[in-house]
A and B are shown apart, each in its own frame.
Chain A
Amino acid sequence: MKYAGKAHKVGDHIDTDAIIPARFLVTSDPQELGQKCFEGLEEGWVKRVNAGDILVGGKNFGCGSSREHAPIAILGAGMPVVIAHSYARIFYRNGFNMGLVLLEIGDDIERISDGDELEVDAKSGTIQNKTTNEVIKSLPVPEFMTEILTSGGLVEYVRKKVA
């Protein structure tokens, strides 16, 4: 669960309409949604992303709709990890269920700038900012979430139960 890539920083209260506007919700295909990721923030936003890059959000990241298309679009755009000050509740659940790694670091978010090179160890919650040579620790992932992750996501978790 180690990742490395460039930080793409977005602001506070980034809502699900910004992540993936409703007009694109006529598909659930990750590739198609990925191409439209952050189209509600800026046209063609996704062109700046290279596979493996890391999204950095502010406060209340993912507020708004329950649409699971939002974490799917972020994954589809090639970003496997989000680091944020805090998350909207529904997005937090959806992210884990979809296999998107979510780290919450509160005010330490200020220690990451747009374009910084980051290395993330999701298991220990350690973020290395290679640009500033700083190490940031995220809040631990709640135990119950780890249980879903170790089952291989919610689909697998339920699969075992209905079997």
Chain B
Amino acid sequence: MAQTLAQKILQRHCSEEVGVAGNIVQCSTSLVLANDITAPLSIDSFRKMGARKVFDREKIALVCDHFTPNKDIDSAEQVKKVREFAREMDILHYYEGGNSGVEHALLPELGLVGPGDIVVGADSHTCTYGGLGAFATGMGSTDIAGAMALGETWFKVPETIRVNITGNLEKFTTSKDLILHLIGVIGVDGALYRALEFGGSVVDEMEIEARMTMANMAIEAGGKAGLFPADSRTIAYCTDSGFADPEEIYPDSGAEYFRVVDIDVSGMSPQIACPHLPDNVKPVEELKNVKVDQVVLGSCTNGRISDLRAAAEIIKGRKVHKDVRFIVLPATPRIYEQALDEGLIKIFAQAGGIVGPPTCGPCLGGHMGILAAGERCLATTNRNFKGRMGSLESEVYLGSPITAAAAALTGEIIHPEKV
């Protein structure tokens, strides 16, 4: 039977035949992940399950990144609980403090994820690793506790929506704009219970970091996973990151798809998701006089070095608008160091930006960069739900690092070509 990428990867981890969409299959897990918000609950469930040992101390990653550096006593207690569990179980991949970064940027960089893997994480943006040809999906803490104990979990084989992306990408249009456009087309429940599989000439030419940005937001269309083929670019990325023996993986021709979406990117301008859902997407030129109080550049969607470079190119030698707080968060310590070496941090600091430590805090209104009533933010993050970044009366717009840089300079949401 011709298989989609999702079926193909699930089959690698399953002793029975995966077969058609709708089947429920038990699969082994390559990596099991939780963070400082979700791991404490996983640890409680793990104990209640009567488990004494994790299935493999090298295949679990615990990353403290949401409320860190700890914002208060309660969050410090949560991290303490995770730390003590990691020590007790002798977990190899435990990250906090100066070793920690935004989990979905950190793990690929450390070579912990690669093609053909099944990764489950107690974080909805675990789907990011689909950019590397992994079947990766978010689950709750108790599912993750089960996977930590057993090294396996169950999946319903998803139907797949195939997305073909072709045409010529415009100068200021990025992979973030493509995924926002797609979510705008299919809606926030357009891929509910299904996998998104990306392909086409634009994808073939797309860098791995850009693919991860797109896979990251599959969940914003309700997707179970967002999958990219693992091609020679993937192999090169994974070899560099130290992932052992990455293999190319492609979907079979003739695989059965629930739906095919064709997108021609030629002439597409930067896209903005307006409040309060990620599918409320408009081309940037349709937004008139939308002033912003804050701009956030960072997160598991767009806090990678290529994102910082793209924004710095626009910011360089200029000043952030006096009415804007421009928060820049390199997603990992290595990205921070790269940004230092390349002079990007200096560009942001000289422009009047606030360069913070790697953290997820502002994206979820949990820690730093909280919005007051009536305030508006343009963020490179992935969600703009009502009250996501603070007050229920605040507004979040989503855009690319390039549109974020343009908004930081002008104080309004504007086409970057006008800066």
Complexed CA–CA distance, A63 and B222 (Å): 7
Within 8 A of B (CB), among A65-109: 65-69, 71, 86, 88-90, 93-94, 97-98
Any chain B CB within 8 A of the CB of A18? yes
Residues of B that sit less than 8 Å from A by CB: 24, 37-38, 40-41, 44-45, 48-52, 66-67, 72, 74-75, 78, 121-124, 126, 138-143, 145-146, 149-150, 154, 156, 188-189, 192-193, 219, 222, 224, 277, 364-366, 383, 385-388, 392
A155 to chain B, nearest CB (A): 5
A152 to chain B, nearest CB (A): 11
B75 to chain A, nearest CB (A): 5
Write the chain B residue with the least CB distance to A70.
Answer: B140
Chain A residues whose CB sits within 8 angstroms of the CB of B24 once the complex forms: 142, 144
Q: Which of A22, A64, A144 has the most CB of B within 10 A?
A: A22
Chain B residues whose CB sits within 8 angstroms of the CB of A112 once the complex forms: none
Give the contact-size bracket for chain A.
35 or more
Check A93–B140 contact: CB distance below 8 A.
Answer: yes
Complexed CA–CA distance, A162 and B47 (Å): 11
Any chain B CB within 8 A of the CB of A139? no
With A65-B124, A144-B24 given, is the CB distance from A13 to B139 under 8 Å?
no
**Which of A18, A97, A98 is within 8 Å of B386, CB to CB?**
A18
Complexed CA–CA distance, A40 and B383 (Å): 14
Check B385–A15 contact: CB distance below 8 A.
Answer: yes
28 chain-A/chain-B pairs, Cβ below 8 angstroms: A13-B189, A17-B364, A17-B365, A17-B385, A26-B74, A40-B385, A40-B392, A59-B189, A60-B192, A64-B383, A66-B121, A66-B122, A66-B124, A66-B126, A68-B122, A68-B141, A90-B124, A90-B219, A94-B143, A98-B140, A98-B142, A155-B45, A155-B142, A155-B145, A158-B149, A159-B49, A162-B149, A163-B50
Check B138–A66 contact: CB distance below 8 A.
Answer: yes
With A40-B387, A154-B142, A162-B51 given, is the CB distance from A67 to B365 under 8 Å?
no
Q: Which of B45, B52, B121, B142 has the most CB of A within 10 A?
A: B142
Write the chain A residue with the least CB distance to B224.
Answer: A89
Name 20 extra pairs, CB < 8 A, besides A25-B37, A25-B366, A60-B188.
Answer: A17-B386, A22-B365, A25-B66, A43-B392, A63-B222, A66-B140, A66-B141, A68-B122, A68-B140, A71-B140, A86-B189, A90-B140, A93-B139, A97-B140, A155-B49, A155-B142, A158-B49, A159-B48, A161-B149, A162-B149
Residues of A that sit less than 8 Å from B by CB: 13, 15, 17-18, 21-23, 25-28, 40-43, 59-60, 63-69, 71, 86, 88-90, 93-94, 97-98, 142, 144, 154-155, 157-159, 161-163
Check A40–B386 contact: CB distance below 8 A.
Answer: yes
Complexed CA–CA distance, A25 and B38 (Å): 9
Check B277–A13 contact: CB distance below 8 A.
Answer: yes
Q: What 8 A-B pairs come out closest when comparing CB atoms? A: A26-B74, A94-B140, A60-B189, A68-B140, A22-B364, A66-B138, A22-B366, A158-B49
Write the chain B residue with the least CB distance to A94.
Answer: B140
Q: Which of B49, B78, B150, B388 has the most CB of A within 10 A?
A: B49
